[in-house]
Amino acid sequence: MAQAGKESLTRTAMCGRLSESDIGREVVLSGWVQRRRDLGGVIFLDLRDRSGIVQVVSSPEFGEAAFAVADLVRNEYVISVRGDVVARDPDTVNPNLETGTIEVRAREVELLNRSKPTPFPIEDGIDVDESVRLRFRYLDLRRPEMQRTFLLRHRAMQLVRRFLDRHGFMEIETPMLTRRTPEGARDYLVPSRVHPGQFYALPQSPQLFKQLLMVSGFERYFQIVRCFRDEDLRADRQPEFTQIDIEMSFMPLAEFQELMERMMAELFQELLGVTVPLPFRRIPYDEAMLRYGSDKPDLRFGLEIRDVTETVKTCGFRVFQSAVNSGGAVRGLNAKGCGGFSRKEIDDLGALAGQLGAKGLAWMVITDEGVKSPIAKFFTDEELAAIRRELGAEAGDLLIFVADRPEICAEVLGQLRLHLGRRLGLIDDGSFAFAWITDFPLFSYDEEEKRWVAEHHPFTMPRWEDVDLMERDPGRVRAQAYDMVLNGYEIGGGSLRIYRREIQEAMFRTLGFSMEEAREKFGFLLEAFEYGAPPHGGMAFGFDRVVMLMAGKSSIRECIAFPKTASASCLLTGAPSEISEEQWRELHIRPDGVTARQ
Amino acid sequence: MAQAGKESLTRTAMCGRLSESDIGREVVLSGWVQRRRDLGGVIFLDLRDRSGIVQVVSSPEFGEAAFAVADLVRNEYVISVRGDVVARDPDTVNPNLETGTIEVRAREVELLNRSKPTPFPIEDGIDVDESVRLRFRYLDLRRPEMQRTFLLRHRAMQLVRRFLDRHGFMEIETPMLTRRTPEGARDYLVPSRVHPGQFYALPQSPQLFKQLLMVSGFERYFQIVRCFRDEDLRADRQPEFTQIDIEMSFMPLAEFQELMERMMAELFQELLGVTVPLPFRRIPYDEAMLRYGSDKPDLRFGLEIRDVTETVKTCGFRVFQSAVNSGGAVRGLNAKGCGGFSRKEIDDLGALAGQLGAKGLAWMVITDEGVKSPIAKFFTDEELAAIRRELGAEAGDLLIFVADRPEICAEVLGQLRLHLGRRLGLIDDGSFAFAWITDFPLFSYDEEEKRWVAEHHPFTMPRWEDVDLMERDPGRVRAQAYDMVLNGYEIGGGSLRIYRREIQEAMFRTLGFSMEEAREKFGFLLEAFEYGAPPHGGMAFGFDRVVMLMAGKSSIRECIAFPKTASASCLLTGAPSEISEEQWRELHIRPDGVTARQ
C-alpha cells in the first residue's frame, strides 16, 4: 500500500489557473481532492487548490503507479500530481468549471496526506448548523465562499493601508495591555503577576493613545487594530473586533470627511467595481430621526416618515390629540401601493408596531372613493386632504400612523419602514447608499444616574456656536461628531476633539466631575493637553462590518476567521478554559466563593 | 490679550518642505514653536511641524496684530501663521536648516494652544533619564529622532505587507482572546465574566491558528501581529511585542528561505539604501557554535574560534589534558595584533572569562622570537607550531584558550569574541551581516524534568533522514528549523511542521506524552490534522528588533511608541492599576490573601 512520505514533487502550476494555453505542458499540481469518480479503469479526480479546481484523469495507460495511488485516494486527501495538460473531448467539456475545457493526465500521483470523511461537504451553500461550522472552522474555511470572503478582507486591508499611506498617514501601534477605561463599556481585564491586585485592560479603542500621538506631532495616524468589549453579545457583536482607527491634526472637518469618502469610494471601486457617488449626503441627526426614524438610515429606498403633528393637533381623534397635548408627535408613513393589504396584513403591521413599543397603529387606505379607515370619521375633509397631501398619498396607498413620544414614533416607524422596504422589494441588494449623519447631541441625560453623560466620549468637541450652551442647556449642544452610515449600518464614527482646556473643563463640569475626579480618570491625557495639543479629530471604522457589507453577508461572524459564540466561547479551541492552581497563585487571585487557601 | 479660539486659518504648506521655489508665495503654516527669539521689535519663531522647521519673522511692519500674538508665544505653543515666503539676506542664511535660505514674514499669527515649559528640550541627543522620557512619552515622541524611527517603522510595515501581498500571501487576523498555550512560556490570562473560573489567554504567537489556516487551504498566510509573554523582563524584552508571522503550504524549504531573504533585502534596499548580498550564508547550528560560540553569531567580523582539541590532547598541560580526558574540548581564538596587551589587559580578559563561567583562560603571545606564555613550556615545538598554524598566528598576535565542556568553551569564547571585536574596532556599525542558522537539534534534555523537551515546539519537523532516530536517539535528531540572524541578533525563526500523524505520534512519545495527554493539550490541532493537512511551514520575525537594528538603536523600547518598563508598568498611563469591587465581583475572582466576602 502506498505510504504517505516525504514529498518529492514540487508544484509548478495552480489548478484554477490552467487553461487551453497550457495544453501540451507537463505540470505538477498540489492540493485537495474535491471529488473522486471511478469509471472502471479510469479515475477522475477534481483537484482543488486556492486558485480553483481542475480535473485530473488517471488510467494505467498514463501511469500505472499513479493509477494505483489514485485508486486509494478519497475526498479531501492531499496529493501532488505530475501530468500533461490536454484538451478535453468536446462532449466532456464542463462549462461549469473555469478549467472545464482541459484536463491533466496523471503520470505520477503522490499521496501527501489522508483525510477522514468531513462532517459537511466542502462546497458553497451548505445547510449545516453554525455550531458545527465553528467547531470545524478549519474545514468551513476551505469552502470557496469563505475563501472569497477572506481574500476580499485581505484586499480591503491592503487597500485601506495604501490609501492612508499615500495620504501621509503613519501606522503606529498602540498598547494592548493598557489602563482601564473610565466612562466606557466593560473592559476585559488582565491580572498582573508582578503587581498583585492590579490589572491591565485590553483597549476598547486606542482613543486616548491616538490623541496622545497628535500631541506628539505625528499629525496623521492610523492603525488597523483589535479592540475589545466585554459586553453581553446581543445580535452581531464580538468580544474582539477590528477597527480602522484614524486621527489627524490641523485639518478642517470638511476636508477630512471628503478624504474618508474617497477612501470608501476607492475601496468599493477597486474591490467590487461599484462606483459610489461623491460627495456623500450629509443628514443632521435630527433630520435622520424624523425622516427615517433612525440615526443609521437605510437610504437605498424612500418610504420616508412625515410628521403630521401640526395637521392633526386639533382633529377629533382622541388618541392623536392626547399624544400631541402631552408633548408627543404624530408621524406617518405612506406604504405606496399597499392599499390592497388584507385586514390581517394590516393587523400584523399593528402587532409589529406593538412589539416595537407603540400603543397602537392607526391606518388609512386611500381609494378612488376616498379614505377608508376606522378613524376617518374623526377627521374633517380638510384634515384628510392635508394628510394625503403631506404623505403624497394616491389611490391604492396605505397610510400608517404612530402617535407617541417622538422617540417612540421614530423607533416604531423607522422599523416599519425597514420592514415594508424589504417586504415590498424596494431594496436593491447590489446597491450601496452612503451618508454622513452629523450634528449629534453632545450630551444625553441618564435617567438612572440623574446626570448628563457624554453621548460619544468626553473629549468630543461641541460646535463652536454651541460652546456657550454647554453648562446652560446641555441638551441643546450639538457635537462636532459624525457617523458614516451604509445601507442601514453605522460603519464608522468620529469627532473633532476638545484640545483646549477651558472647553474641557466646561465639559467635565457638565458631566458633574470635579477637576480632581477628572484628573483621577483622565490624568495623563489632561496633562498631555497642557503641553501644546493641536486641533485634531478622527474617526474609527468597524472593519468587520465594512467587510460584511462588501461581501454581502448578514453576520460579522462570516467575516472573522475564528469568531466566538454569543457566550464568548470559541467552539474550535474551547476557549475560555480552566487554569492550573499554580497559575491562580501566580496571579494572586482566587476563585470567588472558594475559601481562602492556607 | 489674545485668546486661543476657533481656528480660522487653514494650512496650505508644510514647514520643512518650503524652499526657494516658494519665494513670493503666501502660505499658511501650522505647528509648534521650536524656539522664539526677540531681537527687540522683531521676533523670530522657529516653527516645527512633522516635515521640519522654518523660520517665521514677525515685526509690526509685516502685521501688527500678528506681532502682538507672536509676542505672547513661547516654546511649544501651537500656532498657525499666514505669511509670505521671502529669501533671507545672504548673511542670515542658516546652513544647518534645510529651509535656511528662506523665511516667512508673518501677516497673521493665530494662537491655537499654549504649552507649559517642557520637562526636557524637544531635540535630539538629550541626556534625560529614560523614566522621565517614558512618563512624558508624548513629548519624547516629538523629538526628531523619534519621529524618524516611527516613520521608518511605518514604512517597514507597509513594505513587508506589500512584498507578501505581491507574493500571494493573505493577511488573516487570528484571535487575541484564545486558549492557554500548553508547553510554552507564561501566558497573560483574561478572566471570563460569562464562564466563572475560566480564562482566555493572550497569544504568545498565532502558531496553532496559522497551522489551522494551512489546513484550511489558504496556502500563504501572513500577519503583523501583537504577541504576549508574561516573562520576567530581562534585558530587552517587552510583555507585548510585534511579530511578522508567515506560513505557507506546498513550498520547498529552500524556495521559502530564498523568498524571506529577498523580503529582507528589499526592506534594507528601499528604506536604508543598503544592498544586502544574496543568498544569505547558511551555517548549521553545530558549526555556528563551534566557530562563533553562538547560535546568533555576529558575522560582521572574523575572529573565529578554532577547536584545537585534537592537537593538544596529548600535550603536557594538565588543564588541557584533563578537559579532553573528561570529554571536553580545548578551543582558541586569535586576537590578531593584540600581542602587545599588557599583563593587566590579559588578566582582565581572564576575569571576564571567569564571569562567563570558565575556570580559567590560557594565553600565548606570538613574538618574532617564538611563543611567550606561562604555559609554553608544557608544549612540544611541534604542538606549538600546530597551534599557530591552526589559529593562523603570526608575530604580534595574542592567542587565548578555554578548556572545558564544549558548551562552556562556546559561551565563553563566543562572548570574548564579541568583546574583542568591539574593542578592536572590527565591527562596522553601518554594515548588516545576515545568515541562516540551520539544523537545530529537535530536542533538548531537561535536566530538571528529566525528560526530552521540544527545542522549538512539538510540531517541528525532523529532517527526514533523522525520523528513525526520534525514539532511539533523540539528542541526535536535527530539526527542519532555521533562524535568521543579523549582526548578532536572532531576528526570526521558523520550521517546517509535522503534518503527518505517525511522525507526530513519535514526537509525543519522545516527549513522554500519551496520546490522551497530547489530545488534552493540542486536541483541536491534532483533530484538524486528520482532515488532510498539507505539507507546510513558516517563520516569524521579531519586528521590533528588525526596526531596532535598522534604526541603529540599542533597545527595542526606542522603537515601540508606548513601551513598558522592566516591571511591565507603563509610566505614562499608570497601567496596571487597581479595579473596582464591582469588577472583582463580575469576574468571579478575589484577591488572594483576602478572606472570602460574605
Q: List, for residues B493-507, the tens digit of each pLDDT value.
A: 999 999 988 898 899
Cβ <8 Å between A596 and B591: no
User: For residue B165, is pLDDT > 50?
Assistant: yes
Nearest CA in chain A to B560: A173
Count helices and strands in chain A by DSSP H and E runs: 17, 23
Q: Domain residue spans in chain B?
A: 15-113, 148-173+207-224+249-282+435-558, 301-427
- Give chain B positions within 8 Å (CB) of A190: 188-190, 202, 576
Alpha helical stretches, state H, B79-143: 130-135, 137-140
In this structure, is the dihedral angle defined by the CA atoms of residues B312, B314, B320 and B323, taken in order, positive or negative? Answer: positive
Pick from A190, A500, A598 the residue to mutate for testing the B interface (most B CBs within 10 Å). A190
Look up residue A538 and give its three cell numbers: 478622527
* CA of B493 vs chain A CAs: smallest distance (Å): 22
Cβ <8 Å between A49 and B217: yes
| Rg (chain A; Cα; Å) | 31
To which H or E segment does residue A332 belong?
strand A329-335
| Contact present, A20 and A89 (Cβ < 8 Å) | no
* CA of A452 vs chain B CAs: smallest distance (Å): 22
pLDDT value for B594? 55
A372 - beta bridge partners?
A: A365
Rounded distance between C-alpha atoms, residue A107 and residue A145, angstroms: 32
Cβ <8 Å between A592 and B597: yes
B588 is in an annotated binding site: no
Nearest CA in chain B to A239: B177
Cβ <8 Å between A576 and B200: yes
Nearest CA in chain B to A115: B531
Pick from B110, B216, B229, B594 the residue to mutate for testing the A interface (most A CBs within 10 Å). B216
**C-alpha distances in angstroms, B468 versus A9, B474, B496?**
22, 10, 17
List, in order, residues 6 or more apart from A267 with CB less than 8 Å away. Answer: A156, A159, A160, A163, A546, A550
Report the percentage of chain A scoring pLDDT > 90: 87
Pick from B250, B547, B584 the residue to mutate for testing the A interface (most A CBs within 10 Å). B250
* CA of A242 vs chain B CAs: smallest distance (Å): 9
Q: Closest to B524 (Cβ–Cβ): which among A230, A572, A593?
A: A572
Question: CA dihedral in degrees (B135, B138, B143, B148; nearest 10)?
Answer: 120
| Contact present, B27 and B46 (Cβ < 8 Å) | no
Nearest CA in chain B to A527: B136
Cβ <8 Å between B171 and A157: yes
- Give chain A positions within 8 Å (CB) of B183: none
| Half-sphere exposure in the Cβ direction for A143 (13 Å, CA) | 21
List the binding residues of A for L-aspartate.
Answer: 183, 229, 456, 497
* CA of A25 vs chain B CAs: smallest distance (Å): 20
Pick from A177, A526, A581 the residue to mutate for testing the B interface (most B CBs within 10 Å). A177
| Contact present, B56 and B45 (Cβ < 8 Å) | yes
Cβ <8 Å between B199 and A585: no
A97 - beta bridge partners?
A: none
Rounded distance between C-alpha atoms, residue A278 and residue A268, angstroms: 12
| Contact present, B37 and B44 (Cβ < 8 Å) | yes
Per-residue pLDDT band at A594 (split at 50, 70, 90):
low
pLDDT value for A5? 57
Q: Which A residues 551-580 touch B at CB under 8 Å?
A: 560-562, 564, 567-570, 572-579
Q: Is B585 helix (H, G, I), strand (E, B) or coil?
A: helix
B183 is in an annotated binding site: yes
**CB-based contact (8 Å) between B436 and chain A?**
no
Average pLDDT taken over every residue of chain A: 94
Nearest CA in chain B to A160: B158
**C-alpha distances in angstroms, A364 versus A314, A350, A397?**
18, 13, 8
Q: Which B residues 490-529 touch A at CB under 8 Å?
A: 499-500, 523-524, 528
Q: Among the listed ranges A436-450, B21-35, B140-154, which one has the minimum average pLDDT value?
A: A436-450
B527 is in an annotated binding site: no
Over the stretch B169-198, which tens digit does the pLDDT of each residue have? 999 999 999 998 776 789 999 999 999 999
Cβ <8 Å between B157 and A178: no
Cβ <8 Å between A50 and B217: yes
Q: Among the listed ranges A183-187, A449-453, B541-545, which one has the minimum average pLDDT value?
A: A183-187
List, in order, residues 6 or more apart from A176 with CB less than 8 Å away. Answer: A202, A203, A226, B176, B202, B226, B228, B240
DSSP annotation of B294 reads: S
List, in order, residues 6 or more apart from B48 with CB less than 8 Å away. Answer: A217, B15, B31, B32, B33, B34, B122
pLDDT value for B226? 98
Q: Closest to B157 (Cβ–Cβ): which among A171, A242, A569?
A: A171
Mean pLDDT of B439-463: 91
* CA of A533 vs chain B CAs: smallest distance (Å): 6
Question: CA dihedral in degrees (A449, A450, A454, A459; nearest 10)?
Answer: -90
Mean pLDDT of B448-475: 91
List the binding residues of A for ATP.
Answer: 229-231, 238, 490, 542-545
Could you give the angle at which helices A253-272 and A144-166 cross, rounded to 10 degrees?
140
Cβ <8 Å between B195 and A567: yes
Q: Closest to B199 (Cβ–Cβ): which among A528, A577, A595?
A: A577
Alpha helical stretches, state H, B141-227: 144-166, 207-215
In this structure, is the dihedral angle defined by the CA atoms of residues A587, A593, A594 and A596, taken in order, positive or negative? Answer: positive
Q: Report the CATH fold assignment for A148-173+207-224+249-282+435-558.
A: BirA Bifunctional Protein; domain 2 (3.30.930)
Rounded distance between C-alpha atoms, residue A141 and residue B212, angstroms: 10
**C-alpha distances in angstroms, A419 versus A335, A415, A430, A488?**
11, 6, 18, 12
Mean pLDDT of A360-375: 94
**CB-based contact (8 Å) between A590 and chain B?**
yes
- Give chain A positions within 8 Å (CB) of B559: none
Q: Which of A508 and A164 is assigned the larger pLDDT? A: A164
Scan for cell 505530475, then name that residue.
A82
Q: Closest to B534 (Cβ–Cβ): which among A112, A189, A586?
A: A112
User: For residue A1, is pLDDT > 90?
Assistant: no
Write out the CATH class of domain A301-427. alpha beta
Closest by Cα among A103, A140, A107 to A125: A140
- Give chain B positions within 8 Å (CB) of A172: 150, 153-154, 561
Rounded distance between C-alpha atoms, residue B274 and residue B278, angstroms: 12
The top-scoring range by mean pLDDT among A26-35, A506-515, B565-574 is A26-35
User: Between chain A and chain B, how many beta carbons pairs sit less than 8 Å apart?
Assistant: 369
Q: Is B82 helix (H, G, I), strand (E, B) or coil?
A: strand
Pick from B148, B200, B585 the residue to mutate for testing the A interface (most A CBs within 10 Å). B200
Q: Which B residues 456-495 touch A at CB under 8 Å?
A: 464
Report the percentage of chain A scoring pLDDT > 70: 98
Mean pLDDT of B133-140: 98
Q: Among the listed ranges A52-66, A514-528, B157-171, B562-576, which one has the minimum average pLDDT value?
A: A514-528
User: For residue A597, is pLDDT > 60?
Assistant: no
The region that residue B40 occupies, defined by phi over 0 for left and psi between -120 and 50 for alpha, beta otherwise, is: left
pLDDT value for A520? 79
- Give chain B positions within 8 Å (CB) of A201: 575
Cβ neighbours, 10 Å, residue B515: 12
Question: Is B15-113 assigned to CATH 3.30.2000.10?
Answer: no
pLDDT value for A2? 41
The region that residue A101 occupies, defined by phi over 0 for left and psi between -120 and 50 for alpha, beta otherwise, is: alpha
pLDDT value for A204? 95
| Rg (chain B; Cα; Å) | 31
Cβ <8 Å between B588 and A593: yes
Per-residue pLDDT band at B596 (split at 50, 70, 90):
very low
User: For residue A3, is pLDDT > 70?
Assistant: no
Displacement of CA A141 from its chain's centroid (Å): 19
| Half-sphere exposure in the Cβ direction for A544 (13 Å, CA) | 21
Per-residue pLDDT band at B513 (split at 50, 70, 90):
confident
Burial class (CB in 10 A: 0-12, 13-18, 19+), B566: middle
List, in order, residues 6 or more apart from A198 with CB less than 8 Å away. Answer: A191, A192, B576, B577, B578, B579
User: For residue B581, is pLDDT > 80?
Assistant: yes
Angle at B318 between CA B313 and CA B319, to 5 degrees: 90
List the binding residues of A.
Answer: 183, 229-231, 238, 456, 490, 497, 542-545
Rounded distance between C-alpha atoms, residue B57 and residue B93, angstroms: 14
- Give chain A positions within 8 Å (CB) of B113: 499-500, 532-535
* CA of A13 vs chain B CAs: smallest distance (Å): 11
B67 is in an annotated binding site: no
Per-residue pLDDT band at A279 (split at 50, 70, 90):
very high
Rounded distance between C-alpha atoms, residue B460 and residue B528, angstroms: 16
User: For residue B4, is pLDDT > 90?
Assistant: no
pLDDT value for B124? 95
B422 is in an annotated binding site: no
Q: Which B residues 52-111 touch A at CB under 8 Å?
A: 76-78, 80
Look up residue A169 and give its three cell numbers: 498617514
In this structure, is the dihedral angle defined by the CA atoms of residues A354, A356, A361 and A364, taken in order, positive or negative? Answer: negative
pLDDT value for B3? 45
Pick from A46, A113, A241 the residue to mutate for testing the B interface (most B CBs within 10 Å). A113
User: For residue B5, is pLDDT > 80?
Assistant: no
